[in-house]
């Protein structure tokens, strides 16, 4: 099955986000982690913290940034998926964790990246 242009752009944006975060000193643990609760785009470590990263690409921001699309319902899905991941990776469960959002737009021939650290909290 061939990928749509939107899926290809999404994968390219995720790859760019991953590379950008690695340049900032984060280390990749997993990409596109799936379970019954949902998907985590990137799971990385930043020092001793586990970081769950949602990557959002918008070709245009007329209706808001990518970060603005991570609503409460999406946050709850990400939290449930991260909890499941940590239950199956007990070593990481002992460390601090946070949720970051990478909001990306196209800027001429490159991506513009807005990295929002600790974008939301579990409640």
Torsion on CA atoms 8, 19, 98, 34, rounded to nearest 10: 40
CATH of the domain at 40: 3.40.1350.10
- Digit-by-digit pLDDT tens for the chain (123 residues) are 456 877 787 788 899 999 999 999 999 999 999 999 999 999 999 999 999 999 988 766 556 566 667 889 999 999 999 999 999 999 999 999 999 999 988 777 777 899 999 998 886
Measured distance CA(70)–CA(25) in Å, rounded: 24
Phi-psi region of 47 (alpha: psi -120 to 50; beta: other; left: phi over 0): left
Q: How many domains does the chain have?
A: 1
- Number of Cβ within a 10 Å radius of residue 123: 7
- State which residues form the domain around 26: 5-120
**Helical H segments across 27-99, by residue range:** 72-87, 90-93
Q: What is the pTM of this model?
A: 0.89
């Amino acid at each position: 099955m061939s990928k749509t242009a939107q899926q290809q752009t999404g994968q390219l944006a995720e790859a760019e986000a991953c590379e950008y975060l690695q340049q900032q000193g984060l280390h990749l643990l997993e990409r596109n982690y799936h379970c019954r609760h949902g998907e985590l785009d990137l799971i990385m470590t930043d020092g001793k913290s586990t970081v769950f990263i949602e990557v959002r690409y918008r070709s245009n921001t007329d209706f808001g940034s990518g970060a603005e699309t991570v609503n409460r319902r999406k946050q709850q899905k990400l939290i449930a998926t991260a909890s499941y991941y940590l239950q199956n990776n007990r070593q990481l469960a002992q460390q601090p964790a946070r949720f970051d959002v990478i909001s990306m737009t196209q800027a001429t021939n490159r991506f513009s990246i807005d990295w929002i650290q600790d974008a939301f909290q579990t409640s």
